[in-house]
Amino acid sequence: MIDIILFQPKCGVWDIMGARVPIGLLSIGAVPCNKGYKVVLIDQRIDFDWQSKIKKYINQGAKIVCLTTMVGEQILHMMEVSKFIKSIDSNILTILGGSWPQTQPEMCMQDKNIDVVCYGEGDYLLTELMAYCEGKKKISDVLGIIHRTKEGTIKRTAPRQPVQNLDELPKIPYRLVNLRDYTAVGFRQGKPSISVVTSRGCQFRCTFCSMVPLYGQSWRGYSVDRLMEDIAELESKYGIKDFFFNDDLITGDFKRFTEFLEALAKSGRDYNWGTPGMRGDAVLRLTKDEKAMDNLIKSGCKNLDIGVESGSPRILKLIKKDTTVDVIRRVNQKMSKYPVIMKYNFMGGFPTETEGEFFDTMRLRRILQEENEYAIAPIYFFTPVPETQIFTLAIENGFQPPTKLQEWADFNYDTWYKKYPSWLTKRMIHLIDNAVFLSYFSNKKMSYKYPNPLLNILFKLYYPLAKLRNDNDYYGFMFEKSLAEFIVKIDGKFNLFNRIQKKFFFKKSESLNTYS
């Protein structure tokens, strides 16, 4: 018998980067698994026969299907799956969670095949909804949801309070997936790696970030003891020693972070790790502590991401980044002494940003890479997200956002500016779009971000041309972008990249096949 189906829809262009373990779904599956419910997980990115699996599990008695989505193409895939589920059994309770429902829960109910939307943390949600399915609880008593009544009306229940002590949560049920099908980073090509979340939230106030309205500038983290226990288990059970600590802010408690570094360093386990959740001021603070820096290196740190966002002081103030260009340059100069890839993330296309201010960004990223051989500096196109402070500014400057769920499915980070009216001129779109594309491929150190074997090969083939263009600021006649768009379309139809990853990536590590 099956009780709950967790379903991970395809993401779209992000899938080409390599499928990471669906940690969000696995996290909300932890409590029901611990309570004895039979839970299964289907991942559309790698389960190419997902329809037959859904049919099989529904026939085996599944009462709930829980899906997830972020903004963009994943909404389209989610709606395809929810429609398919209801075509098999209209009585199945369909639940939707993820980053998009967190900010737009009512809009998500426009999908008539969704019964419940989770607008808070979902750790205890599925067990309560199973109690509802079993007639033991009223759905109106389940906190943090929007639900559709039998009469078709939409009701919102009272908010659910966030889990304050993350250590109280059961262990992630990795057994629900085959971890050999996933990867996270390419520190050691051909070796297994995994994304791990060590904390939730962020205390800062960046106006473009959806975490601010979601968590209200709050932060909570697992204890160091719990983290080390979980990491040791991933190594002993699954042979994994390379980790991507996928936090929004891993230094939310700086003391916890330094203690974590010390524990990793003292373990002597030859771990490798990176994280996107760093700030320049935190790294600067770290460099002033000789013991902490020694532990950073001994712990196996291979990469730190810092969100710089812009080289323009005015834009940094506009987005309330609470940092300066000087801080970032000092961080970079101090970290140049260490063999740690410093990934400085930038954005272009902010509301009111001028061409000159974007060139300030281009100059800063070039300086950082010249001053530190381990520095990389990709650029991303700014994307206006509902409920963020800057979203209002975007609308004031001419942005006309989608109004329906189906329209937001066509709102992708790499194409929205070509489809929706905004403040951006054609010249700015052309400039930023080409600079963004080249930034992904013009630094050889970026290769660790492409663990998918096919994408890694394509990166190595294109790198010389991308570097030549980048070094000479030549953005004209970029025929290769059309080729990349064609590859993305082909992958969208045939799931080529993840098929290759699943078939070939872990061949060398089959002797570690203790996955269960």
Query: For residues 346 and 171, is the Cβ–Cβ distance under 8 A?
Result: no
User: Does one domain contain both 207 and 66?
Assistant: no
CA distance 221 to 247: 10
Domain boundary among 137, 156, 175: 156
Q: Is residue 279's pLDDT more than 70?
A: yes
* Residue 212 counted as domain residue: yes
User: Does one domain contain both 152 and 215?
Assistant: no
C-alpha angle 381-382-387 in degrees, rounded to nearest 5 = 150
User: Does one domain contain both 133 and 196?
Assistant: no
What CATH number is given to the structural domain containing 280?
A: 3.80.30.20
* Residue 366 counted as domain residue: yes
Task: Tell me the pLDDT tens digit for each residue of 138-153.
Answer: 999 999 999 999 888 9
Please compute the mean of the pLDDT values over residues 46-57 and round it to a whole number.
96
- pLDDT bracket for residue 14 (50, 70, 90): confident
Q: Is residue 322's pLDDT more than 70?
A: yes
User: Does one domain contain both 362 and 220?
Assistant: yes
* Residue 169 counted as domain residue: no
* Residue 473 counted as domain residue: yes
Q: Across-strand partners of 219?
A: 201
CA distance 248 to 268: 27
User: Does one domain contain both 327 and 411?
Assistant: yes
Quote the tokens at residue 445. 């150190």
User: Does one domain contain both 50 and 194?
Assistant: no
Domain boundary among 156, 171, 198: 156
* Residue 170 counted as domain residue: no
Please compute the mean of the pLDDT values over residues 284-300 and round it to a whole number.
97
User: Does one domain contain both 378 and 503?
Assistant: yes
* Residue 89 counted as domain residue: yes
Task: Tell me the pLDDT tens digit for each residue of 432-484.
Answer: 999 999 999 999 999 999 888 888 999 999 999 999 998 998 888 899 999 99
User: Does one domain contain both 346 and 397?
Assistant: yes
User: Does one domain contain both 234 and 142?
Assistant: no
Average pLDDT, the chain: 94
Beta strands in 293-371 (DSSP E): 301-309, 341-348
What CATH number is given to the structural domain containing 124?
A: 3.40.50.280
* Residue 167 counted as domain residue: no
* Residue 58 counted as domain residue: yes
CA distance 137 to 116: 15
User: Does one domain contain both 213 and 64?
Assistant: no
User: Does one domain contain both 328 and 461?
Assistant: yes
Q: What is the pLDDT of residue 509?
A: 44
Which residues, 6 or more positions from 124, have their beta carbon under 8 angstroms from its beta carbon? 31, 160
Task: Note down the domain range covering 371.
Answer: 183-507
User: Does one domain contain both 142 and 187?
Assistant: no
Domain count, the chain: 2
